[in-house]
Amino acid sequence: MTLLITEQVNPETVGIDEVSTLELVRLINQQDQRVAAAVADELPRIAAAIDAIVERWQQGGRLFYVGTGTSGRLGVLDAVECPPTFGISPDRVQAIIAGGYEACWRAVEVAEDDPDAGAQSIIERGVTAQDAVVGIAASGRTPFTIGALTQARALGALTIGLACNPEPELATVVHICITPVVGPEVIAGSTRMKAGTAQKMVLNMLSTGVMIRLGYTYDNLMANLQLKNEKLRQRACGILQAQFGMSKQEAIELLSSAQWDLKVAFVMRQAQVTADHARDALAKSNHSIKRALALLNRVDKP
């Protein structure tokens, strides 16, 4: 049986254990430079996936990432960063990893081989036809992930596959398949390297693209940021200073009057309304600053 591309020996890195350290990292860097090009080849499918996820989200659906090993951990990483970055509820983007969350910090690789466990994980999360499920598997044939995707599709959910081999097995059970083919790894089979990097890049595009389309940014600013620590409060001040040309003290006073809700502060300043009016407009606009401003503009017009 022909080895998957992700499992093959890379002829360009043979002898890597006998070169200088500088040459070693140069070889790794040269291979890494191929990742962005492989992702670029998949942009039409990534864009299609974003639009399809947005359509489900606007119907009240959720986004799930499913994977095992490195792929599963990357899904967890992307999911947990969405709420603080974009101000969404944690249940709207969820991650399922074979072996449970313990597998985030300790390998539970045996869990990969059980398609029934993958299917059961979808049932346990209550996935419905409104939801979108992204199955992540460098090989494209991981039983747990395929089991999860098969079950999700049977329930009517949108299914998306992310693999790093051409014509992967999971393509047969998904609506959209994204396959950045990065070639053999620097160290044969170590798909945490180029394949993992490609998967991270695609997941960045998926979640960020979805949130932009939903209006959870303001231009290219993280205006829905949740200000849960001092670093983030300082970042919010900087955003307001840059956007409105105000002093740091003015930014602090505005955020304080908005009860440290950056979205509310944006709308207050831009529309010159009270905090209560800003919150009301945001609530009616699904917490999109631009839609809230448009709503207030229509209300103000005779």
31-63 pLDDT per residue, tens:
999 999 999 999 999 999 999 999 999 999 999
Residue with tokens 């207030």: 296
C-alpha dihedral (280, 242, 202, 185), degrees to nearest 10: -150
pLDDT value, residue 99: 84
Catalytic status, residue 250: no
Q: Compute the chain's Rg from CA coordinates.
A: 22
3-state helix/strand/coil string of the chain: CCCCHHHCCCHHHCCHHHCCHHHHHHHHHHHHHHHHHHHHCCHHHHHHHHHHHHHHHCCCCCEEEEECHHHHHHHHHHHHHHHHHHCCCCCCEEEEECCCHHHHCCCCHHHHHCHHHHHHHHHHCCCCCCCEEEEECCCCCCHHHHHHHHHHHHCCCEEEEECCCCCCHHHHHCCEEECCCCCCCCCCCCCCCHHHHHHHHHHHHHHHHHHHHHCCCECCECCCCCCCCHHHHHHHHHHHHHHHCCCHHHHHHHHHHCCCCHHHHHHHHHHCCCHHHHHHHHHHCCCCHHHHHHHHHHHHCC
The mean per-residue pLDDT over the stretch 59-72 comes to 95
pLDDT value, residue 272: 94
pLDDT value, residue 109: 65
pLDDT value, residue 267: 95
The mean per-residue pLDDT over the stretch 6-27 comes to 95
pLDDT value, residue 209: 97
Confidence label for 106 from pLDDT (cuts 50, 70 and 90): confident
pLDDT value, residue 110: 60
Round to whole Å and give the CA distance between 30 and 32.
Answer: 5
pLDDT value, residue 193: 95
Catalytic status, residue 124: no
pLDDT value, residue 2: 63
pLDDT value, residue 300: 56
Check: CB of residue 135 under 8 Å from CB of residue 150.
Answer: no
Residue with tokens 């994980």: 121
Give the model confidence (pLDDT) of 72-93 as tens digits.
Answer: 999 999 999 999 889 889 999 9
Tell me which of 7, 18, 102, 112 is the catalytic residue.
112
Tell me the pTM.
0.90
Contacts of 159 (CB under 8 A, 6+ apart): 132, 133, 135, 149, 152, 153, 173, 174, 175, 176
- The Cβ of residue 152 has, within 10 Å, a number of other Cβ atoms equal to 31
Give the model confidence (pLDDT) of 241-262 as tens digits.
Answer: 999 999 999 999 999 999 999 9
Tell me which of 12, 23, 55, 81 is the catalytic residue.
81
Q: What percent of the chain has pLDDT over 70?
A: 96
Confidence label for 302 from pLDDT (cuts 50, 70 and 90): very low
